Amino acid sequence: MLLILEEYFKDHPIKRKIVEGLYERGISVQNGRLFVGGIEVSISEISKLFNVNRRTVYDTIKLIQSSPEISQVMSLLRPCVDISGVAPLMGDQVLTIRIAPGFFRKALTAVMQFISKYGCYVKEIKGTNMGADDIYIRAVFYRSVPRKIFEDIGSIEGINKLIIETPESTNLPLICDKCEVRVCPNKLSTSVLEQTMSEL
């Protein structure tokens, strides 16, 4: 999709930067206004984000809406929740795999096979194959996974880099150890569970 936007806006580099930024952030364009998940975003905030004046943002919106195809795509965008930033605070591991262009399919297949082989519990997995600079697979694992899986994944052809984030790498206290939730899927034993077990 970014290639289509790049081609459509090739004669308007500033507007292309804005529309690609809107697309990447899931900001939709509907009836001349901007929305993130149904919440309207001000033109002023978008102009600050891209370091342009408000007129440029308005002109970009008009250009988007002048093409029925581009307008339809941009009106249907939705933001995507990504828990990878908070996962280490919950005691989980995050693995980001950077992939060379042309190897995404092969790497994805091999990564899924290793995850299955080691029986890892995956909370979230996300992959992007958009342009040479943004090709990756990100997996959030429940708690920690066997170290051997990283060695195996690192040996897959076309993988450039593995980035592993653990609760220890954040240097922040775990939220889950301090939270007041009584029944938590991240805790193996809670007072409610202990009470239920003692009643049996």
Nearest to 159 by CA among 91, 198, 93, 106: 106
Looking at the structure of the chain, the number of domains it has is: 2
Q: Indicate whether 67 and 87 sit together in one domain.
A: no
Q: Indicate whether 87 and 169 sit together in one domain.
A: yes
Q: Which amino acid, residue 155?
A: S
Residue 53: its pLDDT value, please?
Answer: 93
What is the mean predicted confidence (pLDDT) over 169-181?
A: 62
Q: Indicate whether 35 and 90 sit together in one domain.
A: no
Considering the domain boundaries, does residue 195 fall inside one? Answer: no
Q: Which residue has the tokens 């280490």?
A: 88
* Per-residue confidence band for 96, with pLDDT thresholds at 50, 70 and 90: very high
pLDDT per residue as tens digits for the range 123-136: 899 998 877 678 99
**Among 44, 75, 106, which residue terminates a domain?**
75
Q: Indicate whether 165 and 100 sit together in one domain.
A: yes
Considering the domain boundaries, does residue 87 fall inside one? Answer: yes
Q: Indicate whether 168 and 87 sit together in one domain.
A: yes
Residue 92: give its domain's CATH number. Answer: 3.30.70.1110
Q: Indicate whether 87 and 171 sit together in one domain.
A: yes
Q: Indicate whether 53 and 104 sit together in one domain.
A: no
CA angle, 69 then 105 then 25, to 5° = 40
CA angle, 109 then 110 then 114, to 5° = 120
Residue 136 bridge partners (DSSP): 98, 128
H-run or E-run covering 46: helix 43-49
Residue 33: its pLDDT value, please?
Answer: 93
Q: What domain range includes position 138?
A: 83-175
Sequence-distant (≥ 6) Cβ neighbours of residue 176 within 8 angstroms: 89, 90, 91, 184, 186, 187
Residue 191: its pLDDT value, please?
Answer: 47
Q: Among residues of the chain, what percentage have pLDDT more than 90? A: 36
Q: Indicate whether 6 and 29 sit together in one domain.
A: yes
Residue 130: its pLDDT value, please?
Answer: 77
**Among 51, 75, 99, which residue terminates a domain?**
75
Asked whether residue 21 carries a pLDDT value surpassing 60, the answer given is yes
The average confidence (pLDDT) of the chain is 82
Residue 42: its pLDDT value, please?
Answer: 93
Considering the domain boundaries, does residue 192 fall inside one? Answer: no
Considering the domain boundaries, does residue 118 fall inside one? Answer: yes
Q: How far apart are CA 51 and CA 170, in angstroms?
A: 31
